Structure 1
């Protein structure tokens, strides 16, 4: 919702009296962040020239001249100058700080505290979105109650979606009824009401089945399974995923065009539950089936993922030969992909798995070959930064 508000306000459709500018420079250190923001503010204004013109505003602001290189203008000084230049067009200038990365939560809160205690213009505001579970600015806000206003967005999106579904109407039609049941099931899962969620799933699956909507049956069962995975554990989820798999097989047998894709999605879900159960042998088998299915429908990305996860599961089961075979198949699949697709895939984890296997005597002579292949496919810096876990 915040992203939507900023997009509306920044790109010419906003009707509010304030100018919002989003700044995303990384915070590498509190000492250098101000300079990075100042440079980005100048760049952001330049990028907005056309939109300001379209809104009837002459984009004639120029950054004030720097007195000396040793005393560069702060981002607040630039923002104040920018706001004064466009008076009375904009009531306030709101700088929305959304750094793409921060050195640490401590560095982030230190900079915010320094900024709010420093020189400022009443017409320039800092807006610092902060996830409530992180709450990095809690102590800063307590120490500066007159300078910081905290607004907690108490949103209940599940309830909002249900209201939207009700307002959309057509609840007496199969389409409308399924939509509303699915929304209600999602809300029940979020509230931890598994009994209601299962009731909604049962009715939704029956509704979809009566209409021949196999894809919606699968969607409803996978959605409930995902909720059960965290609430009741992998075995409860696996039972639901297996039902979704059975429906997908039925769709495939009936010649439904989406049958293979539905089966692929269902088996990916089954695999995730088996991994959560540490049932490595059966999980590896399912992911091998995923790879074969993906190859049949021409989905190279999922074919690679199937072989990659199968290799990882075999590695956990200490089935070294099978792990090597599946990992090698992942690399073979990657060779059929274009460079951008490889870069966005999990190929690096497949390579890391094979590299770990070369630590075994049986595969030790393959290490140089694997390193060369991976550098050819992904470049010299190809190894993932977090080598552990499934990375599913």
Structure 2
């Protein structure tokens, strides 16, 4: 039976993996790849549990916990290791293997060394059932790249045995472990893994044939998407013409809109603003036809086309035309309603009005964005563009005062980062310390000092706001009520005040 596109990539990953594990001098693998390819790599790690062609008889344990600071990270990894083993006991015993390993919370320190010892403890109990044991680190967030690299260096210094390996995935679009890979340590292997998920999708669709027009168009569209990523505009337009005409022959106006939006995006990449505008208008016409025919995708595609047109106008230094297009997009979004897109469209309309020195127009749209933001669920607001819209409104109302607020945030972030760096230095001296007291003291000191930084920043912020005009104060209070302490000082402030009951301004 022939392998599919995903399985062929998993074989490629296996070859790279066995090259690493086959080198007895290596302990740490930094695998640099596009973050869009992470899922493929994770599939490979998970597949090691099964009898498949790309299995290696190695045991890979994936850890996705975020890195906040070194103590938290080590503790979280140990908890996941113990927890995943506990939930797998029945499966282990079903294979006739005694599931009698355990990891008491305080058996090893909350450090990189402690985590390595915990993994070694597990490995020593079950070593006869695998070739290599690998800890795969895929943190969802990293608060400080230098601190994370330092944690990895200390893990490497814990003298891993040959059969124990650590693997870290590093995003190719924003590598964060160059310092670790570039120090010439012979135990570290840095490798760029070229995994093109778009090519995988294209090959999959080509291999899994769908009969009829839908299958033919799907292949056309995938080829077009691939060409947009790598080809020139002329090539994209030629390929798109066939797909657009085919979709039209089938009465698929929504797909015609999608094709036109792809072409316009390729034109924008080459700074062909007027061509992109014309193409976005073609997409808009097709989207309207789809909406009139009762296709629910039509209205969303019309919004995309209008936002694209606005962006092209802005790229061509025509803020007035862009403002009108953003207004149109906001109106379309509110009609659905798509409140998140409406907020973004109004934010950009306000931005364009400010560029035109239309202060009143910018204020009106900024306030509209806040009003719509009030209709969003509280937990959603801070992950939309609403915080930026609020800050932009403050900047229009009083540019100097808004700049002072921005500087306050920057200063507090620098102080918080410096505090974390000092704390990480202190943590590095605790690698083999037994008992929790020393680690708890460091975490307590970090929390207290960080809260003090943000409390001071909040106090200064309130002074700045109090000195502003009535409109400035009123709109600030509206935005703060919507966004909480995460605005305008950022997530650091929100996290710090979450630790205190008597945070400044909490009663307002």
Q: Shorter-chain-normalised TM-score: which range?
A: 0.7 to 0.9
- For 1:377, the equivalent position in structure 2 comes to 482
Contact 1:25 1:36 in 2 (8 A): no
- DSSP-derived class of the 1:61 partner: coil
Are residues 1:174 and 2:210 paired? no
Are residues 1:50 and 2:87 paired? yes
2:126 aligned to which of 81, 86, 90: 86
Q: How big is each residue's C-alpha offset from its partner over 1:42-87, in whole Å with a ceiling of 9 and x where there is no partner? A: 2112331223423435543223796898999622211111111223
Seen in structure 2, the aligned counterparts of structure 1 residues 59 and 43 have a Cα distance that, compared at 3 Å, is farther
Distance 2:485 2:143 in 1: 25
Contact 2:82 2:102 in 1 (8 A): no
- For 2:302, the equivalent position in structure 1 comes to 263
Relative to structure 2, which stretch is displaced further, 208-217 or 191-200?
Answer: 191-200
Instruction: Give the paired residue count.
Output: 380
Contact 1:25 1:99 in 2 (8 A): yes
Are residues 1:217 and 2:256 paired? yes
- How many angstroms does 1:321 deviate by? 0.8
1:62 aligned to which of 77, 102, 110: 102
- For 2:164, the equivalent position in structure 1 comes to 124
- For 1:389, the equivalent position in structure 2 comes to none
- DSSP-derived class of the 1:21 partner: strand
Relative to structure 2, which stretch is displaced further, 78-87 or 256-265?
Answer: 256-265
Distance 2:44 2:281 in 1: 44
Are residues 1:18 and 2:58 paired? yes
Relative to structure 2, which stretch is displaced further, 265-274 or 18-27?
Answer: 18-27
Distance 2:335 2:78 in 1: 51
Structure 1 gap ranges (5+): 387-392
* Structure possessing the higher relative contact order (Cα contacts under 8 Å, 6 or more residues apart): 2
Structure 2 gap ranges (5+): 1-36, 401-467, 492-508
The 5-angstrom pairing of residues 170-249 of structure 1 reads: 170=210, 173-249=212-288
- How many angstroms does 1:289 deviate by? 1.1
Relative to structure 2, which stretch is displaced further, 322-331 or 40-49?
Answer: 40-49
Relative to structure 2, which stretch is displaced further, 137-146 or 230-239?
Answer: 137-146
Distance 1:355 1:322 in 2: 14
- For 2:425, the equivalent position in structure 1 comes to none
When the two structures are superposed, what TM-score results if normalisation uses the length of structure 1? Answer: 0.84
2:376 aligned to which of 337, 340, 343: 337
- How many angstroms does 1:284 deviate by? 1.2
Contact 1:8 1:14 in 2 (8 A): no
Distance 1:51 1:9 in 2: 17
Seen in structure 2, the aligned counterparts of structure 1 residues 67 and 42 have a Cα distance that, compared at 3 Å, is closer
Distance 1:292 1:144 in 2: 57
- How many angstroms does 1:194 deviate by? 2.8
- DSSP-derived class of the 2:188 partner: coil
Seen in structure 2, the aligned counterparts of structure 1 residues 120 and 37 have a Cα distance that, compared at 3 Å, is farther
- DSSP-derived class of the 2:165 partner: strand
2:352 aligned to which of 313, 317, 320: 313
- How many angstroms does 1:219 deviate by? 0.8
Distance 2:104 2:288 in 1: 68
Seen in structure 2, the aligned counterparts of structure 1 residues 356 and 228 have a Cα distance that, compared at 3 Å, is same
- How many angstroms does 1:153 deviate by? 1.4
Contact 2:48 2:59 in 1 (8 A): no
2:334 aligned to which of 274, 285, 295: 295
Seen in structure 2, the aligned counterparts of structure 1 residues 132 and 258 have a Cα distance that, compared at 3 Å, is closer
Root mean square deviation, CA, Å: 3.3
Seen in structure 2, the aligned counterparts of structure 1 residues 385 and 238 have a Cα distance that, compared at 3 Å, is farther
- How many angstroms does 1:314 deviate by? 1.0
